[in-house]
């Protein structure tokens, strides 16, 4: 351990979808830095009879860390309170919530079924709302919290065949930025990660030669930073993929001003409206003092 290493000693973190891929990378990194981790994933046993969450919790324990498993889809209406209860029973508190669980049901919009839409919204959006709401009271009472939500390039910029997924991921941007405002007075910081990684959900879409370069381990440091007590960011959207880290922004151009504008005026001044030479970040995310 280096002298200036950012640690999570005695902090309690919940990570959803942590039985593999990105969630596993987050859970392992947080645990390696001293956090107690609640590993959540679906209740599906492998050939050894273990669930994905149990396997990762055992892996953490073998490495000298502290973790418990919570089996069950975060999409279930009772899942959020149940996961928080697991954390409270095992460790007596919650400090960090990483909403990572996700699925895809990709189809063109015209062929997308009601079930395709419901399944994706239930995991990404409703699951995140349910868990975060269940943890919110604990975080408020403690006057401290770090919450990470997962958006996507599909949610920010759109992607062919992912109307359901994109809608869920865009919804999380509004949720996360609103909770950043509401949580500020309680010492709760809420940020969003837009990750790119080769996982079970995405590896089939990525060329084989990119799998190592796009390891989940190269996203985990950004997420861990957002979970740390020294992080004062809130309401931000951060991108992480293949060792590149960046800030995503929602901007407003200087635009065109005319209180008496007609339809024809809009048409004539459309270049001014779209011009990105000058722009601002409305209601820009704030940096708050530590605490």
Q: Which residues are catalytic?
A: 165
Query: 247: which strand partners?
Result: 238
Please list, residue by residue across 138-173, b when 16 or more beta carbons sit within 10 angstroms of its beta carbon and e when fewer do: bbbeeebbbbbbbbbbbbbeeeebbbbbbbbbbbbb
Q: What are residue 32's phi and psi, to 5 degrees? A: -65, -20
Alpha helices in the chain (DSSP H): 21-32, 52-62, 79-91, 114-121, 127-142, 153-157, 163-183, 220-227, 263-268, 270-274
Is the Cβ–Cβ distance between 40 and 54 less than 8 Å? no
């Amino acid at each position: 351990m280096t002298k200036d290493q950012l640690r999570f000693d005695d902090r309690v973190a919940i990570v959803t979808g942590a039985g593999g891929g990105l969630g596993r990378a987050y859970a392992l990194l947080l645990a390696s830095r001293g956090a107690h981790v609640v590993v959540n994933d679906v209740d599906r046993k492998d050939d050894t009879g273990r669930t994905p969450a149990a396997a990762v919790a055992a892996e953490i324990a073998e490495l000298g860390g502290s973790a418990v498993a919570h089996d069950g889809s975060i999409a279930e209406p009772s899942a959020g309170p149940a996961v928080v209860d697991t954390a409270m029973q095992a460790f007596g508190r919650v400090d960090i919530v990483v909403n990572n669980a996700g699925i895809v049901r990709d189809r063109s919009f015209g062929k997308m079924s009601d079930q395709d839409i419901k399944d994706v919204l239930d995991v990404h959006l409703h699951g995140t709302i349910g868990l975060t709401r269940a943890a919110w009271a604990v975080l408020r009472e403690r006057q401290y919290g770090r919450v990470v939500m997962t958006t996507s390039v599909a949610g920010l910029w759109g992607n062919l065949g992912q109307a359901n997924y994109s809608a869920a991921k865009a919804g999380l941007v509004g949720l996360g930025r609103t909770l950043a405002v509401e949580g500020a007075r309680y010492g709760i910081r809420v940020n969003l990660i837009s990750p790119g990684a080769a996982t079970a959900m995405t590896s089939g879409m990525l060329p084989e030669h990119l799998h190592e370069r796009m390891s989940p381990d190269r996203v985990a440091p950004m997420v861990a930073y957002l979970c740390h007590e020294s992080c004062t960011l809130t309401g931000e959207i951060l991108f992480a993929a293949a060792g590149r880290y960046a800030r995503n922004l929602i901007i407003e151009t200087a635009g065109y001003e005319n209180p008496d504008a007609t339809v024809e005026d809009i048409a004539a001044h459309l270049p001014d409206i779209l011009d990105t030479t000058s722009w601002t970040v409305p209601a820009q995310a704030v940096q708050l003092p530590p605490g």
